[in-house]
Structure 1
């Protein structure tokens, strides 16, 4: 039995259980959604499974403690290596989340979802135009010629943990959606030629996938209501050249959700099962993930994240923040001193030479949901739990967990 069928069976059985005591309870239910780029990626295939097979991996213990302290109900983890059997996802629950870490209480998620990622899948083409096609996993240049940057298939993948049932029959994934099929796509241009939008050849565009990892629409049953958890991890808008292929791809990866949730704009979108169209109008949703785009600073292409922040169906009025982020910006200085955005909203501790600390991670609810608070797990240095985000004995991740409480 495949992992998809196993999860489907669990979800189907759970659907038979009572999900609430009545309409009043459902109307007043508060659910905590979170995203966390946990940097649980490894250099070799199978390494994460091996490390999570025992309960003593130092980084995994720290990541688990952060999650236990924030206690989200529905959680996306970015940069969690994918394996076909979902073994790493299960081991992280069993050996880390279910075990008290550093005085925090264990946390159990009955439901989880993981699926293939475009990272580390060979394209068979010279996508970085350096004159070589690299198809050997782990070889120099392999990641640049893969559909998404990665040393092996599934590196930098994703996993979702949920306390509430995931409607597996309603799940939509968009791993194989082609960039060329997005109307007016921001395709990169080779500045050395007069032809526009020609960084990728016609043959490459016939196979080039938009999503650098994947995009998932996971319907989550919360009480008597379904909330669509829309998750992704767009590529960083850097590590390229004048053609800005990564910046443009980041922009359009973000745009996919903007069009998917905008009535009348998602008709061109097709999922991995061939079903077309965007999210039905009126369906509540939460968009989450490391978007790799700051609204004010950094290297984003054409204000990419504003496609969501200024979206007519998204409530972006409440921005999670932390005192630790503001403190870090002041203490670290460097390019942070030149930023125009308020540092209290930063969610990632990047190099202080460039790009500096940024707001890269988001949890954005639809206007049919009501924000009821939230935050960024970035304690100030005087807080004892700042050890979880410090540099000794290692940084747990250069990103911080971001959560939002919503009335659903």
Structure 2
């Protein structure tokens, strides 16, 4: 029998491992599983009729551009629409100051390619987006967690870490973060920008969820607030996405940054994919220009807000003191902590297989920490489950705790 071939994999692959979320998905093929594991928007909320209309318009009126190679920086009509979108949210951005990316994940990859290298240090929130940790580690960065609470990253602790480690950049999800669901307060946002200027440290603002608020809009983005903190625009990279508010299948995000950084990102993107799908960009540009996004967002906010309340109520009723969480004000997630009250299990990873056996899935929280993982935490998504399934899924989770 021939020995298995040995391949010369790049050493950087030794710094990353497969996603814990993707591993959970492998277990979801069983019939009857109720999943709180994914971070997906509900496909039933996609504005299919108007997206189809925008696609027909792209083929009827823009076929030469939509079906051809395009500029690496992006389709100019879409860049103009995205700039208008950010301007409506209080940020002063021109179309030429942003590039279109293949989802905001590519924007993070471009940040890694242009700024990270073996041995450098990067600070993230604890917890934070798992794929960001993996991306930065892939490029050799040592990723360090900064303490965060229900109001986002703690500026005092963040400053101490910046002074100690002199990071290449700090990565934050200030609004309805994944997985923690926290929203950085207005005061803390200003302090973060002041830290960036004082220590000349780049801040990466990832904002895929900012428009999915429930009862009231969140504070302005860091990008919008740079006008209030002199010099801070030179130290901010902002990444946005249409995945959670329009369609993840279009794979469209964007990135705005100081001109020298944006130029390097464009160069790296040329090597990566030449350009984001021109057809998808044309469809999105037409959709946004027609003004349909506002109504679609109102509908999504209403549905997600109701599901978040139903899940929160069910957790209180079914798990009682065995679980603690802060009700989310937007986004797609509830971040919870198992307390161990009454002798119940207090380890998310240990609970996960028991929950699968009961027919419900979630993601244990420990992998979302770059350092000092907290085993008692877990992430629950209410986005794709109907209200009855949410109630039943939480009841199954309660049974799993008692097994």
TM-score band by shorter chain is: under 0.3
| TM superposition score normalised by structure 1 | 0.27
The structure with higher relative contact order (CA 8 Å, sep 6+) is: 2
More helix by share: 2
Which structure would you say has the larger Rg? 2
| TM superposition score normalised by structure 2 | 0.27
